Structure 1
Amino acid sequence: MDSVSEAQFELDQLRHQARKQLLGTVVLGVMAGLLAFVGQSALGQARPLLESSFGTWQSLYTVVLWALAIAWLVALIQQALHYQNISEQFESRRRLDAVYAERAAKAQAVEEERQRQRAESEARQAAERNRRLNKNSHSTKFDFWQE
């Protein structure tokens, strides 16, 4: 593999990891939301035990839920931006690979054309040499004088 393909492979792996992390963040947020409802229900059932300080407990629980929701939202935004950044790098690398492959194909075509022209030129030169040699090997009416 060349370095560009290796870089693209690594970016693809990073993109898959970022996607999994983003999905994990969403799943954790959904689970936290479900646990918030369960916690609210449990707090409501414990109301007789906490009658004197129930309002304080409920306010504290609400503040903690809002803090967790904000932290989750920040984490979700961060993961989404990370995934978007990796995806953009991956697409950029894919476009670069396409450009490099196109350039390599053009260079190979030019080289093949050069080799074809060189072979044709050599064939023409060889034919010209053969023609000259054959022309010189024909006898002339004065061959007997040369012996």
Structure 2
Amino acid sequence: MSNSYDGDVNAYERGTGFLLARLGSLTARSWTAFLAAHDLTQGQYAVLVTLGEHGPQGQRRLAGLVAVDARNIVAVLDALAGRGLVERRPDEADRRRRTVALTERGKALVTVVADAAAEEQDGFLRALDQAERAQLNLLLRRLYASHVDGPA
């Protein structure tokens, strides 16, 4: 499928590597601005969404789920707790451990941010129809998995 854009660019601008890098840069800037508008960092967002999807978690398990070093998760949790978005309480099975859960305020924020993120994504992908978006996502996940998980 060709469009008028193809004839208006230099050869390097049609390369997959260039396009992935450029779109990555554009989406990273957009995503960072989106999170900043909601007064969140990427780490804080990951914690909130993960707790929303998986429910209360031990701090160590939560750190693993969001791919943050267990020592560094404390600062993220402190910031979220300070805003009343999460609470830490003793684990019922092992009182030495701490369980992290979303507060009602945290749950509400996750909903608001998820809805806003979906709108943001729709805007970014506006040039693609639903089938093309699904295909792009599938291809990107497969490519990502091949680099993160190794060859299939």
TM-score (norm 2): 0.28
Pair member with larger Rg: 1
- TM-score when normalising by structure 1: 0.29
As a proportion of its length, which structure holds more strand?
2
